[in-house]
């Protein structure tokens, strides 16, 4: 068929210890949006990296418009017409929009850069995507959404035949997503083939024509978007029945249990102000609010990551003064940070060492955990959390995001904490791992531990939490009952609609 632009047949690639792709086929037609789906570690990014020349496949053929290709680098792939727009916008914020679009291939006129043409063509390109903006302004003057459009404009202008959008919507709001979809439709009408990678299933159905599902490096199937239901799709991605996630049982609300931690009026001027909260033994306290509303700062204060400037914290009856996270750990606290890469994993160390790290930190380096015990500890949690790895000596940096998150969780569960603070533990991980982490949280509450659960996804907070603190504008806006409140209630508080603070507690 002539309308196939890209055909990948029998792609195979192995990394030490894992077969990352095993006999994977993929076809992309001219003028279609083709969603590539699968859990973390299913092989999506590996497939894209093979296509863009980052990895060389061990076997398999790739045909672009019928011609066999074997790109050796991303630049080579780009020249062939395969462009990628990554999740993080990787443009230069201090350059203008036009400069960003044309950097590295500026049109020249008499040995000098032809600014007139650059600006005119950049404006045309942005207009074509429905963006009527001043392209001579620096990129940083515009929102993430517009910056993303600029990187798409840049990608498309390099004679692209195939455009890869890797999680393009993760930092966009609803309106911006709609806008992006309009651009995608426009581009496909112009005959481009678009590969769309996302975790948001609703978006898959909103914009895709066909979808390909991968699991554990193998092809599960290729479907017409209209011919498969969401539940079927999820079941195919995860490989098991998804009813578990909808059957989670909330822990009973422990109104009579003693308070394990109390904070009164803690804050850091300019960052977050006057937060008071308490949490009981066995309770799951949710923290809702937009990104940047002060949730993470509050968690970091409670754990001693940043010093508390005002107010006080007490554990049981005793006041708690935190100079470093170690003080909090010694008092039975644990903290899974939001930014897994920056504050969580030690990428080059093994799974075993990463799991043992916090336990070892409380013991001090002169009292090492014997190798045998470390190994047992690691094995126990690899099994308990079903971390996908051939052995405990694999580097954590080589695991997928969901498995890295589980390793960090294991690090803290190994310290046997009374109070666990989880900051966005389910972000960027697949639905199967998400369900498992929620189940674990609830189980820990039933064992009598307390959990503070911070998340941007309201449905999962409501599903799990006994009580929910809603943050807005660097302060606590309200505290609501997790059993009775709805998403709409919380959204209203975040949006500051009904002035009714302190809703039903």
Partner 1 sequence: MKKAIASGNFLRSKLFWAIVAELLILLVGFILRPDFLSIQLRTLSDGTTVLFGTPVDILNRASEITIIAMGMTLVIALGGTDISVGALVAVSGAIALKFLRWDVLVYNTPGDYTVQPFYLVILLPLLACTLMGLFNGALIGKLKIQPIIATLILMVGGRGIAQIVTDGKQFTTQYTPFKFIGNGSILGLPLPIIITLVVVLGVMLFVRRTSFGMFVESVGINPNASRVSGLKSGTIILIAYVLTGFLSGISGLIYASRISSNDSNNAGLGYEMDAILAVVIGGTSMTGGKFSLTGTVVGSLIIRTITTLVLYFGVVSEAIMAFKALIIAVVIVLQSEPVRNAISRRRDRIRTQMGGEARA
Nearer to partner 1, 10 or 347 (CB): 347
Which of 258, 347, 498, 500 lies at the binding interface for partner 1 (CB under 8 A)?
A: 347
Q: How many CA atoms lie within 13 A of 96 on its CB side?
A: 13
CA distance 215 to 222: 12
Q: How many helices (H) and strands (E) does the chain have?
A: 17, 22
DSSP 224: E
Q: How far is the CB of 422 from partner 1 (least distance, A)?
A: 13
By the rule CB under 8 A, 357 interacts with partner 1: yes
Q: How far is the CB of 76 from partner 1 (least distance, A)?
A: 17
Which of 1, 2, 16, 112 lies at the binding interface for partner 1 (CB under 8 A)?
A: 16
Phi, psi of 157 (to 5 degrees): -70, -20
Question: What angle, rounded to 10 degrees, do the helices at 115-128 and 144-157 form?
Answer: 110
Which of 76, 176, 262, 343 lies at the binding interface for partner 1 (CB under 8 A)?
A: 343
Binding mask 406-435 for partner 1 (x = CB under 8 A): -----x------------------------
Q: How far is the CB of 343 from partner 1 (least distance, A)?
A: 5
Q: Which stretch binds partner 1 (CB under 8 A): 133-141, 218-226, 243-251, 359-367?
A: 359-367
Which of 73, 243, 362, 486 lies at the binding interface for partner 1 (CB under 8 A)?
A: 362
Residue labelled with tokens 């043992």: 356
Residue labelled with tokens 């666990």: 420
In 3-state terms the chain splits into helix, strand, coil percentages (rounded to 5) of 35, 25, 35
Which of 4, 315, 349, 475 lies at the binding interface for partner 1 (CB under 8 A)?
A: 349
Q: How far is the CB of 326 from partner 1 (least distance, A)?
A: 4
Q: Which stretch binds partner 1 (CB under 8 A): 104-112, 134-142, 221-229, 342-350?
A: 342-350
| Contact set for partner 1, span 17-56 (CB under 8 A) | 17
CA distance 95 to 90: 12
CA distance 284 to 186: 46
Nearer to partner 1, 68 or 390 (CB): 390
Residue labelled with tokens 């954590």: 396
By the rule CB under 8 A, 329 interacts with partner 1: yes
Which of 217, 267, 337, 417 lies at the binding interface for partner 1 (CB under 8 A)?
A: 337
Q: Which stretch binds partner 1 (CB under 8 A): 4-12, 88-96, 273-281, 344-352?
A: 344-352
By the rule CB under 8 A, 360 interacts with partner 1: yes
> Which residues share a beta bridge with 261?
279, 315
| Contact set for partner 1, span 295-324 (CB under 8 A) | 303, 305, 324
How many binding residues for partner 1 (CB under 8 A)?
A: 31
Q: How far is the CB of 391 from partner 1 (least distance, A)?
A: 10
> Both tokens of residue 128?
């074509």
Q: How far is the CB of 353 from partner 1 (least distance, A)?
A: 6
By the rule CB under 8 A, 325 interacts with partner 1: yes
By the rule CB under 8 A, 368 interacts with partner 1: yes
> Both tokens of residue 324?
């470093």
Nearer to partner 1, 29 or 395 (CB): 395
Nearer to partner 1, 217 or 304 (CB): 304
CA distance 447 to 418: 10
Q: Which stretch binds partner 1 (CB under 8 A): 228-236, 334-342, 453-461, 468-476?
A: 334-342
- Contact, 25 vs 8, CB < 8 A? yes
By the rule CB under 8 A, 344 interacts with partner 1: yes
CA distance 277 to 476: 9
End-to-end alpha carbon distance in the chain:
63
> Which residues share a beta bridge with 452?
285, 421
Angular region, 416: left φ>0, alpha ψ -120 to 50, beta rest = left
Nearer to partner 1, 173 or 391 (CB): 391
Q: How far is the CB of 16 from partner 1 (least distance, A)?
A: 5
DSSP 368: P
Nearer to partner 1, 38 or 417 (CB): 417
- Contact, 261 vs 334, CB < 8 A? no
> Could you tell me where the beta strands, DSSP code E, fall in 44-105?
59-64, 67-68, 82-85
CA distance 96 to 134: 9
Nearer to partner 1, 244 or 369 (CB): 369
Q: How far is the CB of 414 from partner 1 (least distance, A)?
A: 11
- Of residues 485, 474, 427, the one with CA closest to residue 455: 427
- Contact, 420 vs 451, CB < 8 A? yes
Q: How far is the CB of 373 from partner 1 (least distance, A)?
A: 12
| Contact set for partner 1, span 99-158 (CB under 8 A) | none
> Which residues share a beta bridge with 286?
453, 468
Q: How far is the CB of 22 from partner 1 (least distance, A)?
A: 16
CA distance 493 to 309: 27
Q: Which stretch binds partner 1 (CB under 8 A): 21-29, 78-86, 329-337, 399-407?
A: 329-337
**Residues within the interface to partner 1 (CB under 8 A):** 16-17, 303, 305, 324-326, 329, 335, 337, 342-349, 353, 356-358, 360-363, 365-366, 368-369, 411
């Amino acid at each position: 068929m002539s309308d196939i632009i890209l055909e990948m047949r029998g792609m195979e690639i192995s990394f030490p210890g894992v077969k990352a792709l095993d006999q994977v086929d993929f076809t992309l037609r001219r003028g279609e949006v083709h969603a590539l789906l699968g859990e973390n570690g299913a092989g999506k990014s590996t497939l894209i990296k093979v296509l863009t020349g980052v990895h060389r496949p061990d076997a398999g053929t790739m045909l672009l418009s019928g011609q066999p290709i074997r790109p050796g680098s991303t630049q080579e792939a780009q020249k062939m017409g395969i462009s990628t727009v990554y999740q993080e916008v990787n443009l230069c914020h201090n350059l203008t929009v036009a400069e960003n679009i044309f950097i590295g291939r500026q049109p020249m006129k008499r040995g000098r850069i032809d600014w007139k043409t650059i600006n005119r063509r950049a404006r045309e390109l942005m207009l074509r995507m429905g963006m009527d903006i001043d392209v001579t302004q620096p990129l940083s003057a515009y929102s993430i959404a517009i910056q993303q459009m600029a990187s798409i404009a840049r990608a498309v202008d390099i004679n692209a035949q195939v455009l890869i959008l890797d999680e393009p919507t993760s930092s966009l709001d609803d309106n911006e997503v709609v806008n992006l979809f309009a651009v995608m439709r426009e581009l496909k009408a112009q005959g481009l083939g678009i590969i769309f990678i996302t975790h948001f299933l609703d978006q898959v159905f909103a914009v895709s024509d066909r979808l390909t599902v991968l699991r554990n490096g193998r092809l599960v199937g290729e479907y017409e978007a209209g011919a498969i239901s969401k539940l079927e799709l999820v079941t195919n991605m995860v490989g098991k029945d998804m009813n578990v996630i909808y059957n989670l049982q909330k822990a009973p609300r422990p109104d009579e249990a003693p308070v394990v931690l109390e904070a009164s009026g803690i804050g850091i001027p300019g960052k977050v102000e006057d937060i008071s909260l308490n949490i009981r033994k066995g309770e799951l306290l949710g923290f809702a609010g937009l990104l940047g509303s002060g949730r993470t700062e509050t968690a970091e204060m409670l754990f001693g990551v940043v010093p508390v400037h005002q107010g006080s914290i007490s554990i049981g009856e005793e006041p708690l003064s935190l100079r470093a996270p170690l003080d909090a750990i010694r008092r039975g606290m644990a903290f899974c940070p939001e930014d897994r890469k920056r504050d969580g994993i030690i990428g080059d160390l093994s799974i075993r060492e990463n799991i043992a790290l916090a336990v070892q930190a409380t013991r001090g380096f002169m009292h090492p955990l014997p190798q045998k015990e470390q190994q047992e500890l690691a094995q126990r949690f690899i099994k308990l959390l079903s971390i996908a790895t051939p052995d405990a000596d694999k580097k954590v940096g080589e695991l997928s995001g969901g498995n890295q998150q589980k390793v960090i969780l294991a690090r803290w569960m190994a310290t046997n904490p009374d109070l666990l603070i989880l900051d966005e533990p389910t972000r960027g991980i697949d639905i199967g791992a998400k369900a498992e982490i929620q189940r674990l949280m609830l189980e820990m509450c039933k064992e009598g531990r307390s959990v503070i659960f911070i998340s941007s996804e309201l449905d999962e907070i409501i599903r799990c939490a006994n009580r929910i603190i809603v943050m807005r504008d660097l302060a606590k806006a309200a505290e609501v009952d997790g059993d009775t409140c709805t998403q709409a209630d919380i959204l209203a508080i975040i949006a500051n609609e009904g002035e009714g603070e302190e809703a039903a507690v």
